[in-house]
């Protein structure tokens, strides 16, 4: 017996998930590394200027504590958001599910038959080097655009959506 998968939506009758897509991990790691660098710099400054008595010692200690605690909180938020920001491609629709915090969530769907125009965008050295970018899908709804931001191999994601859309229109 197979394991039950917990999707952020209730699947419709005869609906099957074709792909679960997440952001490229380089986006998470870049943010975590930048946060760690800031925390390390704060600790280095504290070790050089913080220990001792007096007002400046208190200031440096406060700065170091705020930087480390803030960095830990920011790191957790980056990790949480990365793990709770997913897109689903089913045989009937696209689903964009974002939980930026345990208390905030957003869910958008678009019927595959309503997707009219699609494209990809890769900008900069990092996106070219690590093969990630954005996939944009415009729907028949006025001004409605679905954007899969920072996904790995956007060409493959675009192909998957095109295939699912073609099959849904049959």
54: confidence class by pLDDT, cuts 50, 70, 90: confident
Cβ distance 120 to 136 under 8 Å? yes
Q: Which CATH architecture has domain 17-21+90-168?
A: Roll (2.30)
CA distances from 129 to 24, 117, 124 (A): 12, 26, 9
- The whole-chain average pLDDT of the chain stands at 90
Mean pLDDT to the nearest integer, 39-53: 85
pLDDT tens for 89-124 read 999 999 999 998 889 999 999 999 999 899 999 999
* Range with lowest mean pLDDT among 7-21, 92-106, 118-132, 137-151: 137-151
**Both tokens of residue 142?**
């006025």
Integer Cα distance of 16 and 7 in angstroms: 11
Mean pLDDT to the nearest integer, 4-21: 87
> Where exactly are the structural domains of the chain?
17-21+90-168, 30-80
Mean pLDDT to the nearest integer, 64-74: 95
In the chain the first and final C-alpha atoms are separated, in Å, by 32
Integer Cα distance of 64 and 66 in angstroms: 6
Please say if the pLDDT value at position 2 is more than 50: no
Residue closest to 89 by CA, chosen among 5, 142, 14, 158: 158
Please say if the pLDDT value at position 68 is more than 70: yes
């Amino acid at each position: 017996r197979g394991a039950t998968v917990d999707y952020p939506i209730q699947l419709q009758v005869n609906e099957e998930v074709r792909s679960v897509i997440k952001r490229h991990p380089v986006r998470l790691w870049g943010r975590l590394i930048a946060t760690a660098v800031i925390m390390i710099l704060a600790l280095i400054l504290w070790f050089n200027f913080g220990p001792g008595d007096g007002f400046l010692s208190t200031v440096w200690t406060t700065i170091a504590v705020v930087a480390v605690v803030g960095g830990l909180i920011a790191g957790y938020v980056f990790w949480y958001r990365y793990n709770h920001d997913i897109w689903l491609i089913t045989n009937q629709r696209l689903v964009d599910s974002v939980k930026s915090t345990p208390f905030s969530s957003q869910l958008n769907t678009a019927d595959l038959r309503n997707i009219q125009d699609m494209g990809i965008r890769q900008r900069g050295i990092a996106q070219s080097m690590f093969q990630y970018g954005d996939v944009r899908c415009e729907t028949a709804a006025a001004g409605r655009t679905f954007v899969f931001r920072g996904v790995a191999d956007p060409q493959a994601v675009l192909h998957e959506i095109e295939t699912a859309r073609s099959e849904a229109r049959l």
